Copies of this chain bind each other. A is one copy, B any other.
Amino acid sequence: MAVLRRLVAGRWHHQEEDHRRPGAGHQRLPARPVIAARYDGFIVDLDGVVHLGWSALPGAVSTVNTLLDTGKRILFLTNDPRFTRRSIADRLRGLGIPATPDMVITSGSAGAARVAPGRVYVIGSAELKDEVRAAGGEVLSDVDAHLADRVLVAGHSGFDYTELRAALRACSAGAELVATNRDATFPMPDGLWPATGAVLAAVETAAGRRAVSVGKPSPEIFRVAVDLLAVPRIAVIGDREDTDIAGGRAAGLDTILIGSGESHADHIIPALSGVL
């Protein structure tokens, strides 16, 4: 069968490759240089790469399991700040991936580590507040927001004007402004949903101040992932040029984009299975 392979701007583009399908009458081509063979470990984005709205994307679960079976190390790195690492590991196991909490880093866990200890006003989910408490932070109520040392902003479906006003009161009283990340949207089966970046824009506009953001593309969160992987050759796999690819490159890592179009990634593949 045809293996489409184009060298564009000095990088390999693997487009809709399907060379592994056992097809009668198709001659097996000589082994091509599989992307996975070049690396010992992968920092893998979740939304839009492994799953979409917690439904697995085609081929993603089997690809992750093949990588793990062949001795590759994997660390899941997501900018979704709504869930704890344990909760995400549980969800991944529900999809058929043998993930443990120490295989997961979220912008929420990074944000919690950044704002604790101290008194924190959190715009975010109940699970994010649990992460902040687990990191040693005291989570303040809306009423006590003006006492906060820091404000941590994360997108969540419970965001409302009361939180926005409390965050403004905290900032007006001198609290430091920290955000889990700046993604404007995240992909869902019915289209894009507003993400942390949108909620953060409201807070920053009201407060007249720019937040420190700890999630992707911050290189620091990739360095934490690299330390945890503890293998020499590591690549970042993601579906966003502005976070996964830009952040991976800033951290000095090879990058693999799931998608199409202009990119600074080292490899572009149509789906996670393209690494095999």
Contact = CB atoms under 8 A, between A and B. Distances in A.
Interface in A118-171: 156-162, 164-165, 168-169
A199 interface: yes
Interface of A: 156-162, 164-165, 168-169, 172, 184-185, 191-195, 197-206, 208
Copies of this chain, tallied across the complex: 2
Given A159-B161, A161-B160, A192 B205 contact: no
Contacts of A191: 169, 172
Contact of A205 (B168, B169, B198): B198
Contacts of A202: 194, 198-199, 201-202
Given A159-B161, A184-B206, A201-B202, 20 more contacts: A156-B161, A157-B161, A160-B160, A160-B161, A161-B194, A164-B199, A165-B193, A168-B193, A168-B194, A169-B191, A172-B191, A192-B206, A194-B202, A195-B206, A198-B203, A198-B205, A199-B202, A200-B205, A201-B204, A201-B205
Contacts of A158: 160-161
